Amino acid sequence: MALHTQPALVLFSGGQDSATCLAWALKTFARVETLGFDYGQRHRVELEVRHDFRAALLHTMPEARTRLGEDHLVDLSMLKALGETAMTAERTIEMAENGLPTTFVPGRNLMFFTAAAALAYRRTIRHLVGGMCETDYSGYPDCRDDTLKALQVALSLGLASPVTIHTPLMWRDKAETWAWARELGGQGLVSLMIDHTHSCYLGDRSRKWAWGYGCGTCPACQLRAKGWDTFTHDL
Ligand code: ZN
């Protein structure tokens, strides 16, 4: 069956990457539902901006008016209960001895997709979309293409129902992600990314830069800013 006749569920955090995936999904699938997770993240503000982004999309992308469906929010606070990280507690963001940043939340994307697949199963949705990327990323092993391909197989077997995980940003760097947003929805969508998405790990929305709101120094801000600089330099 062609994708444009089928529904999809987008893991939409309120960040730039998943927002770009949402725009792609609206151009690709017949109906698109969104799913966010509350896992005690320090940057809980992303859960608020996701509503603003969805609302603003209705004015920016014609596809959103006919295809954007329900929004779901699932509580995964157990992730915080299982052990604190710099993503969920006031801890320093730095490299740990295992070579991973202290923002790594073990099992996060595995649980995200498992919860998403369970919800999608009940809603007769086969296609899951996530903004994971291993081109320009923090080294999280659960963002890797191989991890997610293995998970797709495990979920399809475990549910006895086919699950397809789409990660359209997997091989795009941050500059290409900005460029792709412009391709998908023009300057209007780029402006939406700047104003209504949130990537900063510290949840700082008190400072605005050319690329959006954030502290400007955490790894997420640095990646976003670097991508923006390359993108605007290439214009
Ligand atoms: Zn930041």
CA of 16 to the centre of ligand 1 (A): 13
CA of 155 to the centre of ligand 1 (A): 33
Mean pLDDT, rounded, for 8-23: 97
- Asked if residue 201 lies in contact with residue 165, where contact means CB atoms within 8 angstroms, the answer is no
According to the per-residue pLDDT averaged within each range, which of 31-40, 101-110, 134-143 is highest? 31-40
| Residue predicted with more confidence, 158 or 96 | 158
CA of 5 to the centre of ligand 1 (A): 39
Pick the CATH number of 3-233 from 3.30.450.70, 3.40.50.620, 3.10.110.10, 3.30.470.20: 3.40.50.620
- pLDDT tens column, 42-97: 778 888 899 999 999 999 999 999 999 999 999 988 877 777 777 777 777 777 77
Residue 70 has φ and ψ, to the nearest 5°, of: -60, 155
Q: Which of 10, 59, 58 is nearest to 35 (CA)?
A: 10
CA of 54 to the centre of ligand 1 (A): 22
Other residues' Cβ atoms within 10 Å of the Cβ of residue 55: 12
CA of 38 to the centre of ligand 1 (A): 19
CA of 163 to the centre of ligand 1 (A): 34
CA distance 146 to 72: 27
Residue 128: predicted pLDDT: 98
CA distance 133 to 121: 25
CA of 152 to the centre of ligand 1 (A): 31
CA of 200 to the centre of ligand 1 (A): 4
Residue 161 has φ and ψ, to the nearest 5°, of: -155, 135
CA of 202 to the centre of ligand 1 (A): 5
* Domain segments of the chain as ranges: 3-233
CA of 14 to the centre of ligand 1 (A): 14
CA of 222 to the centre of ligand 1 (A): 7
CA of 216 to the centre of ligand 1 (A): 5
Residue 90: predicted pLDDT: 72
Strand partners, 164: 127
DSSP state of 44: T
Residue 41: predicted pLDDT: 79
Confidence band for 139, pLDDT divided at 50, 70 and 90? confident
Residue 214: predicted pLDDT: 95
CA distance 113 to 123: 15
CA distance 58 to 16: 17
- pLDDT tens column, 202-226: 889 999 999 999 999 998 899 999 9
CA of 225 to the centre of ligand 1 (A): 10
Q: Which of 180, 173, 183 is nearest to 224 (CA)?
A: 173
Whole-number percent of the chain with pLDDT over 90: 72
The token duo for 38 is 């509350």
Q: Is the pLDDT of residue 194 over 90?
A: yes
Residue 29: predicted pLDDT: 98
Strand partners, 75: 38
CA of 197 to the centre of ligand 1 (A): 13
pTM of the model: 0.93
CA of 205 to the centre of ligand 1 (A): 9
- Asked if residue 148 lies in contact with residue 137, where contact means CB atoms within 8 angstroms, the answer is no
CA distance 153 to 151: 5
Residue 67: predicted pLDDT: 98
Confidence band for 164, pLDDT divided at 50, 70 and 90? very high
Residue 122 burial by Cβ neighbours in a 10 Å radius (0-12, 13-18, 19+)? exposed
- pLDDT tens column, 107-128: 899 999 999 999 999 999 999 9
